[in-house]
Structure 1
Amino acid sequence: MKIKVLIADDNSFVREGMKIILSTFGDFEIVAAVANGLEAAEHCEAHEVDVALLDVQMPVMDGVEATKRIAERTGAKVLILTTFDDDRFIQDAIRNGAKGYLLKNNDPEKIRDAIRSVHGGHRVLQDVVLDKLAAGLLTTGKEQPKRAEAGAHIDKSQFTARELEIMSLIAEGLSNKEIAARAFLSEGTVANHISNVLSKTGLEHRTQIAIYYLTGEGRKL
C-alpha cells in the first residue's frame, strides 16, 4: 500500500517540483499539493493522509500552527520541510507534534527516506536540528528542563542509575570531560557508560542520546 503524502508550500515552483520528484518513487501517492497551512489542515481532516510535508512560513496559516491542528485532529504525521533552521521554528514545530524537521537542501533520496521513516513511526531530525535540541533548546520558556521531566519519556528499567545520570548530563550539553568532573568518574568510565547506552538503545552517537533523553525518541536520517 502506498504512503499517502500531502505537500504544503506557498511557492508553486517548489510545491509542484516536489510533487514531481516524490511521484517518481513508487511507494508514494501524492494526494494533495496546497499553498498554505489551513488548506493542509483541512485536507488532512477531510481525507486520509499518512504524511503531511509542510513548509514553515506560509500565508493564512503557517506550518507550525498547521502542525498543531493536524497532530491534534488527524492521524497524519507531520514532516517539516523548510529552508529555515531558526531555533524558534524548530522548538515550536516539535512541541506542536511534528515528527520530523528537515531542510530543503537535502537530496531527494534523503527526503524520501525521511518520509518513509516518519510514516514508520520514527522521528527524523537533521543534524543541525539535533545539535540545537541537544544544546537544550527543547524547553519550556528559557529555562532548562528538570532532569526528571526530561527523562520521563524513556523506559528507565533498561538502564543503570549511573547510565541515566550520564544521559541527563549529555542532554544538558556537557562534554565527556565535564561529565567526568561532575560525576566524579574518569573520562574512560564515562565513555564506557555511553557505549553501553548506545548499545542498549541502538543509537549511533551522543547527540542522539540527548534527543532520546529529551523526547523519548532518536533517529539519525
Structure 2
Amino acid sequence: MIKVLIVDDDPFIRESMMLILGLDPELEVAGTCDNGRAAAEFAANTPVDVVLMDIRMPECDGVQGTKLLQALDKPPCVLILTTFDDDEYIAQAIRNGANGYLLKNVSPSRIIAGIKTVHDGSLLIHPAIARKLAGMLDRQPSPSAEPVLAQADPSRKLDAYGLTPTEQQIVRHIADGLSNKEIAAALFFSEGTVKNYITEILGKLELRDRTQIAIFYLKLPG
C-alpha cells in the first residue's frame, strides 16, 4: 500500500484528489495539507510514501515545501502537480529533490500511474522538456547538490566514469524516464538485477539517487 499525502490550497482539489486516489486499491490517502510547511510537519510525524504537491500555494509553496520534505530523516517521494506549465518553478522543485511533475489536467489514471512511477524510484519528467530543465539546473545549481553534479566536466564521455556498457545503457534509460520494470524488460534482466546495477552506478558516479543520474546524463553533450 502506497501512502499518499495530498497538498493543495484549494479544498475542492484536495477532495477531488482523495476521490481519484481512492479508486485504486494500491493507494491510501494518509492525509491532506494546504501548504508545503504543513506537509513537512505532517510527514515528520506520519508515514508517507509519496507527496502529491501543488506548486503555487500561499505561506509555503511547493518548491519550498519540497526542500523541507527532503530535509526529513526519511523523506518521501514528491510528485509536483500543477496547472502552471512553468519551467522555472518545475526546475526549482526538481533541484530541491522533487521526483517529477504532472499537470492537473491529465487523466485520473495518469495521476495514479505517476504516483506509482515515482514510488518505484523513477524520475517523471516529460522528455520534450527534459534537456531544457537540465540546462536550467546547470545554470543555477543547488547549494546542497552533490559535488560531482556541480563540478563534472560535460566534455567527458560516460565511459570516462568507469561505467560498463550495460551500466551506460541503464543510465540512458533512466534519463528517458523508464522505470526499473521497463528497463528490465528492455534489457531482458530481472528488476532485482537492474536495482543492483543502479546501486553500482550511484557508487561510481558518487550520486545520491536516480534523479541525479538523469540530470547528470542530460548535462553531457549529445
Q: Shorter-chain TM-score: what band?
A: 0.5 to 0.7
Question: Which residue matches 1:39?
Answer: 38
Which of the two has higher C-alpha Rg?
1
1:119 and 2:119 are equivalent in the alignment: yes
Question: Which residue matches 2:5?
Answer: 6
- On the 8 A contact 1:100/1:118 being kept in 2, the answer is yes
Equivalent residue of 1:93, what SS?
helix
CA distance in 1, matches of 2:97, 2:14: 22
CA distance in 2, matches of 1:37, 1:17: 19
CA positional deviation for 1:84: 1.6
CA distance in 1, matches of 2:51, 2:118: 10
Equivalent residue of 1:53, what SS?
strand
- On the 8 A contact 2:123/2:177 being kept in 1, the answer is no
- On the 8 A contact 1:150/1:215 being kept in 2, the answer is no
Residues 28, 57 of structure 1: CA spacing in aligned structure 2 closer, same or farther, 3 A cutoff? same
1:203 and 2:202 are equivalent in the alignment: no
- On the 8 A contact 1:150/1:214 being kept in 2, the answer is no
Residues 205, 51 of structure 1: CA spacing in aligned structure 2 closer, same or farther, 3 A cutoff? closer
Q: Percent of counterpart pairs with the same letter?
A: 37
CA positional deviation for 1:85: 2.3
Residues 204, 153 of structure 1: CA spacing in aligned structure 2 closer, same or farther, 3 A cutoff? closer
Deviations 1:89-148 (A, max 9, x none): 0121011110111111211111111111111111111245425325x2222439xx7652
1:157 and 2:156 are equivalent in the alignment: no
CA positional deviation for 1:35: 1.3
CA RMSD of aligned residues (A): 3.4
Deviations 1:58-111 (A, max 9, x none): 111111000001011132111111112212201210111101111112111111
State how 1:71-220 maps to structure 2 within 5 Å.
71-73=70-72, 74-134=74-134, 136-141=135-140, 148=153, 156-158=161-163, 199=169, 201=171, 203=173, 214-215=215-216
Provide structure 2 residue ranges, at least 5 long, that are not aligned to the other structure.
142-149, 179-211
Residues 200, 96 of structure 1: CA spacing in aligned structure 2 closer, same or farther, 3 A cutoff? closer
CA distance in 2, matches of 1:93, 1:13: 24
CA distance in 1, matches of 2:94, 2:78: 10
Counterpart amino acid of residue 47 in structure 1: T
CA distance in 1, matches of 2:123, 2:159: 15
- On the 8 A contact 1:131/1:207 being kept in 2, the answer is no
CA distance in 2, matches of 1:24, 1:137: 37
CA distance in 1, matches of 2:176, 2:54: 29
TM-score, structure 2 length as denominator?
A: 0.67
4+ runs deviating over 4 angstroms: 149-155, 196-202, 204-208
Residues 76, 128 of structure 1: CA spacing in aligned structure 2 closer, same or farther, 3 A cutoff? same
1:15 and 2:20 are equivalent in the alignment: no
Residues 96, 157 of structure 1: CA spacing in aligned structure 2 closer, same or farther, 3 A cutoff? same
TM-score, structure 1 length as denominator?
A: 0.67
Equivalent residue of 2:56, what SS?
coil
CA distance in 2, matches of 1:207, 1:115: 14
CA positional deviation for 1:151: 7.4
